Amino acid sequence: MGDKKRITLVIGSGGIKCVAAAGLWRVLQEEGITIDSVVGCSGGSMYGALIANHVDEKVMGELSRTLWTSDIMSGYTESLKASKDGSLRFNEHSGLVDDSVMNKKLREVYGDLKFSDLQIPFKVVATDLLAGGKVVLSEGSVFEAIRASLAIPIIFPPWDVNGRLLIDGAASDPLPIDVAIQDGADIIIAMGFPLDYRSRFRSMTAVQEQLNSIYINNILTSTYAFYNLAHHAEIFPVIPEFDGTVSMFDVDKIPLVIERGEQAARKQMPHIKRLILE
């Protein structure tokens, strides 16, 4: 057996689908695979933090039911109308949603938790709205980092962290394998979620949403190719498969999503274990 390989878990953006990480976490624990660090982006940061804090996978599923409820979109329809008739003035701090509900829910889960409190080193990827680059957060409040990484442009207001206005990490690095590479990981287990495409468009915002999905999926593909070629060891993609669309507030599908995450993880296990035991 060779030197102990450093294992990093990366959970990419993907909204409610990111709860599939609970299934992956279940498999890793069952197989006795110890994770050395965790990286999360957007929805993936929510579950990355829970894994880094050794939260039970069943609890992760229960928390998800309270987090992904439609009231986090409070004010969206009214703001959208107001933005069209000009009564809502938009600037770099704006979002269509009143984020107070989402912030309250996130605070209930993550409270005053700090990165330094976590059991496993954890990093969150967000994007600098003004400079455009990726920002890696690994100090201070876990809530602040997750809130920043979740800020889907236009929908949720950006979040100020240390004087930088941050938005969704998916805008720059939807599956941030590079963070793990930079930190010296050998084995990288990367759970990613290519976004679904629409087939019908009934509004301008639907087209905008589709464009965002196209952009993010293309960033995912091109960065994934580069990271694969750049890495010295192995990247194991864990890509759960879903028969149909899983919408943002499909809380009833949470058990299914976790199951699919578990299935995708089990498929990779023989290969991961083979390399660990090399």
Residue 146, C-beta contacts closer than 8 angstroms, at least 6 positions apart: 40, 45, 46, 49, 106, 110, 124
The whole-angstrom separation of Cα 270 and Cα 258 is 20
Does 234 contact another protein by CB under 8 A?
Answer: yes
Does 182 contact another protein by CB under 8 A?
Answer: no
Q: How far is the CB of 159 from another protein (least distance, A)?
A: 30
Q: How far is the CB of 187 from another protein (least distance, A)?
A: 9
Q: How far is the CB of 122 from another protein (least distance, A)?
A: 23
Does 274 contact another protein by CB under 8 A?
Answer: yes
Does 273 contact another protein by CB under 8 A?
Answer: no
The whole-angstrom separation of Cα 125 and Cα 217 is 17
Residue selected from 101, 219, 256, 275 as contacting another protein according to rule CB under 8 A: 275
Residue selected from 191, 235, 257, 276 as contacting another protein according to rule CB under 8 A: 235
Torsion of CA 26, 197, 148, 235, to 10 degrees: 50
Residue selected from 225, 245, 247, 273 as contacting another protein according to rule CB under 8 A: 225
Q: b vs e for 172-191, b when ≥16 Cβ sit within 10 Å of the residue's Cβ?
A: bbbbbbbbbbebebbbbbbb
Residue selected from 194, 210, 219, 269 as contacting another protein according to rule CB under 8 A: 194
Helix (H) or strand (E) holding 127: strand 122-128
Query: Site residues (CB under 8 A) for another protein?
Result: 192, 194, 220-222, 224-225, 227-229, 231, 233-237, 239, 267, 271, 274-275, 278
